[in-house]
Amino acid sequence: MPGFHHVEVWVTDLAQARAEWGWLLSTIGFERSGEWTEGESWTAGDGAYLTLTTSPNLSGPDHDRRAPGVNHLAFHGGSRAQVDAVVGFAASHGWRPLYQERYPFAGGPTHYAGWLENSAGFKAEIVADER
């Protein structure tokens, strides 16, 4: 069966990541499906999951979305009102809204989404369902 099995995001500050990512993921419908000393996993939908974990092999403290590698993760965000709510509450949960001057159509005139960046520099896109 094609598709992702899981995505693993390495973090330097697991407590901060648990707070920031935990809020975002639970808000958009993920559920924590596993937790251990060095990380946790979050599952939604078809069984694919996202893991947040720390490692002694990290090369630096921050995610650099402008370097080769992952630029951002995009998530289904539900209705336009639900995307608006996530973006509206993001700052009080460690996420900085991006491209506010073009929100919600920074990705084009038919792409309703909000972009957020957390304290480690990781970017998430929350995309509204098509109308």
Decide if pLDDT at 7 tops 90: yes
Among 71, 61, 41, smallest CA distance to 119 is for: 61
Q: How far apart are CA 26 and CA 106, in angstroms?
A: 24
Q: What tens digit of pLDDT does each residue of 58-81 get?
A: 888 878 888 888 899 999 999 999
Q: What kind of architecture, by CATH, is found in domain 6-55+62-128? A: Roll (3.10)
Decide if pLDDT at 99 tops 80: yes
Prediction pTM value: 0.92
Strands of the sheet containing 49-53, edge to edge, are 6-10, 49-53, 39-43, 31-36
